[in-house]
């Protein structure tokens, strides 16, 4: 991969990298409000909500220095988006309240960089592995669920999909709550995602705040 096209994923906490978190919030405005038309809070060209607080950890995906995607992660023994704003989606299985489950939200890449979507999923799995997370929780649209299925990722629903209208278009969005149980993934799926993650430089700025897990 050439330097001009190098892909970098940085895992960080907002208070520790103000420049990067500002770029990520602007990216979220461009991605979720401008591209997708979602009715979200926008302040000074940035998309921010009540879950952007000290409990949140972030991933920013950069290409040639430009933030083009990312996600937010919150440990599930803290208040998080799904359980707080979408309790009605958990009808057959309860939202977890566990320190080894993490919610992933505000996940995505700009349309012109959509080919990096699977790479961002791979970084998400690498993030889970570094934390020894048991599962990744999310409220997501059925498009993301189908894409995960296509690449071999097993998911569990907390209830049936519900039609919502979170955007300014006439077409409602089908969303579902659920999780990705890490231990239930097929070895070939994990190998594929690891190969994708190997194509991305991953910098974890949070390592100074927690012990490094050393494999035997």
Question: Which pLDDT value is given to residue 16?
Answer: 87
- From residue 122, how far is each of 41, 182, 193 by CA, in Å? 29, 13, 5
Domains of the chain: 3-209 (3.40.630.30)
Task: Give residue 173's pLDDT.
Answer: 81
pLDDT at 171: 65
Give the whole-angstrom CA distance, residue 216 versus residue 174: 43
CA dihedral 112→146→73→159, nearest 10 degrees, is 140
Q: From the CA atom positions of the chain, what is the Rg in Å?
A: 17
pLDDT of residue 107: 97
Q: Where are the beta strands (DSSP E) in the chain?
A: 7-12, 42-43, 46-47, 56-63, 66-75, 101-109, 135-141, 156-157, 162-164, 173-181, 201-204
- Strand, coil or helix: 100: coil
Mean pLDDT in each 10-residue stretch from start to end of the chain (216 residues)? 72 93 97 90 94 97 96 98 97 97 97 95 96 97 93 97 68 89 97 96 79 39
Res 164: pLDDT: 79
Q: What is the model's pTM?
A: 0.91
Give pLDDT, residue 129.
Answer: 95
170 vs 125: CA distance, rounded Å: 34
């Amino acid at each position: 991969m050439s330097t001009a096209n190098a892909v970098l994923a940085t895992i960080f906490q907002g208070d520790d990298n103000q420049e990067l978190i500002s770029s990520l919030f602007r990216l979220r405005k461009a991605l979720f409000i401008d591209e997708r038309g979602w009715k979200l809070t926008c302040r000074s060209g940035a998309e921010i909500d009540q879950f952007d607080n000290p409990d949140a950890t972030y991933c920013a995906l950069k290409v040639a220095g430009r933030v083009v995607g990312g996600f937010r992660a919150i440990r599930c023994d803290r208040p998080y988006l799904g359980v707080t704003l979408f309790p009605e989606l958990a009808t057959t299985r309860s939202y977890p309240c566990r320190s080894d489950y993490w919610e992933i939200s505000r996940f995505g890449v700009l349309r012109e960089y959509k080919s990096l979507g699977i790479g961002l999923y791979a970084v998400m799995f690498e993030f889970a592995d570094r934390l020894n997370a048991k599962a990744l929780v999310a409220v997501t649209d059925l498009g993301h669920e189908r894409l995960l299925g296509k690449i071999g990722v097993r998911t569990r629903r907390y209830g049936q999909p519900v039609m919502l209208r979170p955007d300014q278009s006439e077409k409602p969005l089908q969303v579902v709550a659920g999780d990705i149980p890490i231990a239930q993934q097929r070895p070939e799926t994990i190998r594929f995602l690891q190969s994708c993650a190997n194509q991305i430089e991953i910098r974890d700025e949070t390592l100074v705040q927690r012990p490094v897990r050393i494999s035997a």
